[in-house]
Structure 1
Amino acid sequence: MNPFTDYPASVGESYPAHWRVATRFGLRMIGGGVAALVHGVFPFLFTTTGSRTIEALHGEIVAKRADEVQKRTVEFVI
């Protein structure tokens, strides 16, 4: 059992492909989070960035997984 390849293989990805997807998701979450923090201090800035980021990432996960259970929840394993 190889912890670097077992999980990526279980979702149909190689380790490098999974690294790219997870890194891209992580960076987008950080960006949306920073925008939400700035919005908290300056409510006139980034008024929809956080929610648009969440909506876009959720849509990508649902499309990729195409699983009825995951279409009803945001409790995903990335």
Structure 2
Amino acid sequence: MIRRLFLDHPASVDESYGEHFRVASGFGWAMLVGALGAFTHALIPAFCQRTGSNTVKRLHARLTRDPQRDGKRPEFEI
């Protein structure tokens, strides 16, 4: 049960639990920042005009990048 809950999925994407936690947390924080920017833009259209769309583009590029191409999994930055 513990293995299924905590280890099977990270192993399926060639990560340890800690690596998966770091990567998934990075995505989560980026999505929160993008969402806050989008909500700010909804309230005041002159603010954060590209924050949401830039976040989506950056995360899409990160998800679709081939980690085998450069020999290591790229780091995520906010």
> What SS class does the counterpart of residue 12 from structure 1 fall into?
coil
- 2:16 alignment partner, one of 14, 17, 37: 14
Report the alpha carbon displacement of residue 13 of structure 1 after superposing the two structures with TM.
0.2
Superposition CA RMSD, Å: 1.5
Number of the residue aligned with 1:37: 39
Report the alpha carbon displacement of residue 19 of structure 1 after superposing the two structures with TM.
0.1
Number of the residue aligned with 1:50: 52
Percent identity over paired residues: 41
Q: Larger RCO: Structure 1 or Structure 2 (Cα < 8 Å, ≥ 6 residues apart)?
A: 2
> What SS class does the counterpart of residue 26 from structure 1 fall into?
helix
Consecutive unaligned residues in structure 2, runs of 5 or more? 69-78
TM-score (norm 2): 0.80
Number of the residue aligned with 2:71: none
Q: Which runs of 4+ in 1 moved over 4 A?
A: none
The count of residues paired between Structure 1 and Structure 2 equals 66
- State the AA in 1 paired with 2:27: F
Consecutive unaligned residues in structure 1, runs of 5 or more? 67-78
